[in-house]
Amino acid sequence: MVDGTVCIVTGGGNGLGRAAAHELAGHGARVVVNDLGCEVDGSGSDASVPEDVASEIRDRAGTATAHHGDVSDFEYAERLIADTVEEYGRVDFVCNFAGVLRDGISYKLSEEDWRDVIETNLTGQFAPLRAAAKHWREASESQDGFDRQRSYLAVSAGAARGSLGQANYAAAKAGVLGTVRSVSNELVRSNVRVNALVPNGYTRMTETVPEEHRPYTESEMPPEKVAPLVAYLASEAAEDITGCTLYAGGDRVGVFSDPTMEAVGVCPDGWTLESLSEHFREDVAGDVELSRTESYL
């Protein structure tokens, strides 16, 4: 179902991205493995990281190329797409696992840590999406349509719902969901699917949490169990699935609902401070929980 397709996996040097690259290649896809080769906090750079994964794939008789660079750099993102087209003639699927963590309580979080995490985890999702979208629209128009749908998979996280000590990461991952909903509507006419993935798997990011507070072990939630859904979303079997936020972790896969209004109240003459004070909790909110301060870690 993905045999012969050309797939780019960003953040493919470790964890979930590495597992996805191997899964796609194992089903016959030609894979471009991107990674900056940085630490979890975004520091450093090592070109051997994506090359090691590409070599692993080739050692298993797969087809893979390494591409070292920072996907939050718009010029680099354009080059990643262009080089892939030059190498393989097309791009069928992009999945974006690139991300960093710099946790901190809001009142202690530095401006640098806020901006750097937003840059990598949100801009780093949009830059390759924009580059791929430009290529796909132009290719679709020049070819009078595609032989098969193209697909982009952005990676969000459960932290998008709010996570203690991760205001920067949560903001970026929530931004990914809004980006996906917007761009999926823009690209549907070009026969391009755009979805978001909320994965749950043990990675080096998990290891930043003290061991006694980790939500699961590597044996319970290996990254390899996320990868089949990635391959499915790259395949023709996922035709017309777009604008969705999907989940994969352990033995579970699922679909998240979009934000919906839980309660509504109408005041024919318009609401006032006094009428809201009198009626909001009981008559508008009703049974809806209004104190939502629990951690979603």
**In b/e form, how buried is each residue of 215-234, taking b as 16+ CB within 10 angstroms?**
eeeeeebbbebbbebbbbbb
* Helices and strands of the chain, counted as H and E runs: 8, 8
Residue owning tokens 């991760």? 166
Strand order in the sheet with 6-10: 63-68, 30-35, 6-10, 93-96, 150-155, 192-200, 245-249, 252-255
Q: How far apart are CA 15 and CA 70, in angstroms?
A: 17
How many angstroms separate the CA atoms of 82 and 139, rounded?
A: 12
Residue from 135, 169, 136, 134 nearest 155 by CA: 169
User: Residue 89 has what DSSP assignment?
Assistant: S
Give the 3-state secondary structure of residue 85. helix
Residue type present at position 102: R
Give the position of tokens 């509504």.
264
Structure tokens at 69: 């660079």
- Residue type (1 letter), 186: E
- Please, are residues 36 and 90 in contact by the beta-carbon 8 Å criterion? no
Task: Please give the Cα distance from 199 to 143 (Å, whole number).
Answer: 35
Burial class (CB in 10 A: 0-12, 13-18, 19+), 30: buried
Rounded Cα distance between 164 and 185, Å, is 32
- In the chain, the amino acid numbered 192 is V
Q: Is residue 169 flagged as an active site residue?
A: yes
User: Which residue of the set 76, 88, 152, 169 is catalytic?
Assistant: 169
**Catalytic machinery residues:** 169
